[in-house]
Each structure stands twice: as structure tokens, then as C-alpha cells.
């Protein structure tokens, strides 16, 4: 009887041990089931978009990163770089007596149009949302300065055809302003000197001097002298003193650098 009880206890112990796996086995099974975790690094790709623009001879397709610049910024920078590169203001050119009479008779209308054009062009430049870099912000500021200086020069010149004394209020190009507000002798002497300088730069210098002599003997010689001294004398001199935006290869390269790449289709020059 004692032997039988001992046997039963031994079998019961073995049965319990078989049904309860060891902690080591559980850990091993868990390790085998778990999926390995791997750290991954995803490269950030540029948000590439296309901006179409034209130049003198080419149609261009520029690919840009829209996470860096907006389409509006590119459009306005393009306007500043290319579309606003020409003459900022349009005023009548006085070359002969007919032009002179027209600008004298319509001075108020011409000045009103100049004021209107200036206000519109100034607002256009100020409202441009160009690329926010020191280079392009500087180009925008200098474009505004150039516009203001051009406007002031054009306004003075228009008035001077009727009243040359206004030139004395400006310190620029004083030899022409003084001659226009002095005696006829001094006016004609400065006029002759200007014509001689113009003839040296002309392919037909004799024609320039023949025209001068013909006009000098005309009853309208004072007006002929005034036209040349303002248009080709004071006007060209004052125009050269305007601080203009430098539109060179550097500006072209700065604009092209805004794109990942540019595809161009160009006509033969």
C-alpha cells in the first residue's frame, strides 16, 4: 500500500512538470515569434513643378522645387528680371520743331501721363513678390530707385522745353543748363561744340555739321539750339547719371540657379 501511494505521487509530479513549460522555454518561444525591428531613413524628395518662361530666342521649361519657392515668386522674379528690363517710362522724343511745338502745346497732358505712368509702374514693382534672397530683394530696391530717378529727369526735361530755367535747379550737366539760360552767343557756342562732338561719333560727320550750319542761319535757330542742347546735351548727360540696375550675366545665372534644371528650345540668332 505504501509503495502504491508513492508511485501515484511520482506520476502526478511528472504530469505537472510536463504541462508547465519552463520560463526559459517561454522566453525562447517569445523571441522566436517577435519580428525584428529595423530603423529606416527615407530621403526627402523635392516637390518638383514646371515653370514655363520665354527669353529673346528661347522657350524655356524650368523645373523648380516648390517647397523652396512658390510659382508666384518665380513669376514676379521673372517679371523683374526680364519683362521690366526695358524703358521704365515712355515720354515723347523731341527731335525737330514739330516735336517741340507739340510738347509745348500739350505740356500739361504730357506731364499728367508721365505722373500716371510713374504711379502705375511704381506700384507694379512694389507689389512684386520676388524670391526672398538678398540678391533679388536688392534688385527690386534698385529698380525702384532707377524708376524714381528716371521720372524726375523726364519731368524736368519736359518742362525745360518750355522753361529752360528749371534746369538751373539741378546741379547735373551745368554746362548745358547755363548755356540755355545765358546769352545767345553762349547758347550757340555750346550748341556748336555739342554738334562737333556728335559729328565725331557719327558715320557721316559732315552731314551733322552741314545741318548745324543750315539751322544756325535759320530764323528758328534759338529753338534748334534748345532742342539739341536739351535732347542730346542735357538729356543724354542726365540719363547717364541715373543709377541703373546692372543686368548682366550674373543676373542671368542667378535666375537660372532657381531651377533644378532647364529645358530650352531656341531659334537660330
pTM value is: 0.80
Tell me: pLDDT of 8 over 60.
no
Mode of pairing for the β-strands spanning 58-65 and 261-266: antiparallel
Nearest residue to 78 via CA among 64, 95, 67: 64
In tens, the pLDDT along 56-104 reads 899 999 999 999 999 999 999 999 999 998 878 999 999 999 999 999 9
pLDDT surpasses 80 at 258:
yes
- Phi, psi (5° rounding) for residue 9? -65, -40
Dist. CA 228–CA 266, nearest whole Å? 42
| Chain length of the chain | 269
CA gap 31, 107 in Å, rounded: 95
User: What pLDDT shows up at residue 2?
Assistant: 42
Amino acid at each position: 500500500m505504501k509503495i502504491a501511494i508513492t508511485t501515484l505521487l511520482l506520476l502526478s509530479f511528472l504530469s505537472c512538470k510536463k504541462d508547465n513549460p519552463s520560463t526559459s522555454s517561454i522566453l525562447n518561444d517569445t523571441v522566436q515569434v517577435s519580428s525584428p525591428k529595423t530603423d529606416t531613413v527615407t530621403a526627402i524628395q523635392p516637390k518638383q513643378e514646371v515653370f514655363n518662361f520665354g527669353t529673346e530666342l528661347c522657350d524655356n521649361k524650368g523645373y523648380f522645387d516648390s517647397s523652396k519657392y512658390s510659382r508666384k515668386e518665380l513669376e514676379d522674379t521673372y517679371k523683374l528680371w526680364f519683362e521690366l528690363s526695358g524703358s521704365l517710362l515712355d515720354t515723347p522724343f523731341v527731335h525737330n520743331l514739330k516735336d517741340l511745338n507739340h510738347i509745348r502745346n500739350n505740356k500739361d497732358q504730357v506731364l499728367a501721363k508721365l505722373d500716371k505712368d510713374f504711379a502705375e509702374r511704381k506700384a507694379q514693382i512694389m507689389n512684386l513678390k520676388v524670391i526672398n534672397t538678398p540678391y533679388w530683394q536688392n534688385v527690386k530696391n534698385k529698380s525702384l530707385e532707377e524708376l524714381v530717378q528716371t521720372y524726375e529727369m523726364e519731368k524736368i526735361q519736359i518742362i525745360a522745353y518750355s522753361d529752360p530755367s528749371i534746369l538751373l535747379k539741378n546741379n547735373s550737366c551745368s554746362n548745358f543748363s547755363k548755356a540755355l539760360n545765358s546769352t545767345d552767343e553762349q547758347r550757340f557756342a555750346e550748341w556748336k561744340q555739342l554738334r562737333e562732338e556728335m559729328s565725331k561719333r557719327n558715320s557721316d560727320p559732315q552731314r551733322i555739321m552741314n545741318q548745324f550750319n543750315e539751322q544756325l542761319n535759320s530764323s528758328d535757330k534759338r529753338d534748334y539750339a534748345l532742342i539739341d542742347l536739351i535732347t542730346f546735351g542735357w538729356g543724354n548727360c542726365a540719363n547717364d547719371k541715373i543709377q541703373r540696375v546692372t543686368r548682366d550675366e550674373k543676373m542671368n545665372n542667378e535666375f537660372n540657379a532657381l531651377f533644378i534644371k532647364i529645358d530650352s528650345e531656341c531659334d537660330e540668332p
